[in-house]
Amino acid sequence: MTNHSVVVAGGGPTGLMLAGELALAGVDVVVVERRPNQELSGARALGISSRTIEVLDQRGIADRFLSAGQTAQVTGFAVTRLDISDFPTRHNYGLALRQKHIERILADWVTELGVPIFYDREITGFVQHAAGVDVALADGESLGAQYLVGCDGGRSLIRKTAGIDFPGSDATTSNILAEVEMTEKPPYGVHRSSAGTYAFGRSEYEIKGSEIIFKDVGPIGVMVTEPNANATTEPTLHDLQTLLIAACGTNYGVHSPTWISRFTDVTRQAAQYRSGRVLLAGDAAHVHSPIGGQGLGIGIQDAVNLGWKLSQVIKGTSPDSLLDTYHAERHPVGARVLKATMAQVALHREDDRTLAARDIVGDLLAMEEPRKHIAGMMSGLDIRYELGDGHPLLGRRMPDLEVVTTSGPRRVFSFLHNAESVLLNFVAPSVIDIAGWSDRVQYVDAEYTGKWELPVLGEVVAPAAVLIRPDGYVAWVGDGTVQGLTEALTTWFGRPV
């Protein structure tokens, strides 16, 4: 048995991001992935939202993703597109980029950071004891870890073995998704009928304005609603042909599928994100309909919330109880995503009453305040962790301002590239003393004369200082005094040296 500080179960987007976060903090981490390599069969995420792009930018890797995909106004709620180009962020858009590319880029980054990814290895169980977790692999070998993190997807073995409840609701809709050839050209785009939604597209496309222009090359992607939301058999080409005829009157000569899969709106969330030395993140902690395109993004953000906390606990600078703040902060974010997807599934139904509700929601979202409110939620830019009352920045994401430091202009996110925290002081230089935490928190005297603007909220009063956690959220806001600073530093970064 080899021992590691952390074993990450699953090398999907969540597990890879977590591994990167832990590696940046110098923690010994390995990823165990049952797939033979990073290749992904079947279609999954088509892109990521603004806050997820920001989170990648905080680590200095957003450009790798931006250069591989296409930015566009893809934020939306049910059938309504929400333009976020007026939001105060460098990334006031979404990024269209398929999950297979997102995973490839994340895997390259994690490999550069020196994390071993054990492909073709499957975790079959684990036993937790006072000092760690013994993780069993299908090949009969085992790994020892101080902590095990289940990033092993919606059917998580880690969640089940830990005995963590997964309450929620069963599927009410189901869709077959496939990559196929067709002898006739189908009508590209998304269509709705009384039988449900059906859509056709190609993997090669371009986004022009709000329109997707498919190239007439390559295999065809097809999606069609099934009448039975709780089918138990694997979907077949025959099922697809039958459903296409029911929805469109023809199956367009569908043949030669590369893969056929199914997704539903089953909606469940782990009751606890932690059981002792075992934690859950990503789909292992929450599953929901893909409508709204948030699953991969919140998995990445779970990882970024957990990584620095876990590394501090492993290094002994913070007590084990810091890990409880992971559940406290991320469970409500997951619950809100689940609620938003359930509402969107309901608005996608095609009966008269739903059409009436959809019209009224559309009218509301055409108004300024509702648009900002819902777009803030769908883009993830409005997330606020409960860190108490005070300045509006408290518990919210720090904007990526360009500040002037003694060594020249710097973007705020550049201080976070190594997953470290930073205290930015905007008043008289060196009035704040954080010597007891100087091994954990960077101290920077900075100048910033521009506006302080937050998405949805608008302009806020300029703070005298801000303490920014490694995940980019503001843990303390100074008003010219140091009131509350020692408590905030101790809560988030442990006792002073």
Ligand X SMILES: Cc1cc2nc3c(=O)[nH]c(=O)nc-3n(C[C@H](O)[C@H](O)[C@H](O)COP(=O)(O)OP(=O)(O)OC[C@H]3O[C@@H](n4cnc5c(N)ncnc54)[C@H](O)[C@@H]3O)c2cc1C
Chain contacts with ligand X (rule: CB under 6 A): 9-15, 32-35, 43-48, 99, 122-123, 151-153, 157, 177, 263, 282-283, 290, 293-297, 299
214 versus 443: smaller Cβ distance to ligand X:
214
Strands (DSSP E) contained in 220-329 are 220-226, 254-264, 267-269, 274-275, 278-280, 286-287
Instruction: Provide CB contacts within 8 A for 479, sequence distance 6+.
Output: 391, 463, 464
Please state the closest distance from residue 495 (CB atom) to ligand X, in A. Answer: 34
Of the two residues 44 and 327, which places its CB atom closer to ligand X in the complex? 44
DSSP letter at 10 equals -
CB 480 within 8 A of CB 464: yes
Nearest distance from residue 175's CB to ligand X, in Å?
A: 8
Residue 296 burial class via C-beta count within 10 angstroms: exposed 0-12, middle 13-18, buried 19 and up: buried
Name the residue nearer to ligand X (CB basis): 79 or 357. Answer: 79
Q: Which is nearer to ligand X, 144 or 436 (CB)?
A: 144
Q: Residue 127's Cα: distance from chain center in Å?
A: 29
Cβ 278 to ligand X, closest distance in Å?
A: 13
CB 7 within 8 A of CB 135: yes
Nearer CB in complex with ligand X: 9/416:
9
Identity of the residue, 8 or 456, whose beta carbon is nearer to ligand X in the bound complex: 8
CB of 367 to ligand X, least distance (A): 26
477: β partners: 466
Report how far residue 48's alpha carbon sits from residue 98's, in angstroms, rounded to the nearest whole number.
9
Beta strands in 313-462 (DSSP E): 402-405, 408-411, 421-425, 441-447, 453-454, 458-459
C-beta of 15 vs 484, nearer to ligand X: 15
Nearest distance, CB of residue 268 and ligand X, angstroms: 13
- Smallest distance from ligand X to CB 48, Å: 6
Phi, psi at residue 447, to the nearest 5°? Answer: -120, 140
For the bound state, the minimum distance from the C-beta of residue 341 to ligand X, rounded and expressed in Å, comes to 10
CA-nearest of 343, 329, 332, 316 to 439 is: 316
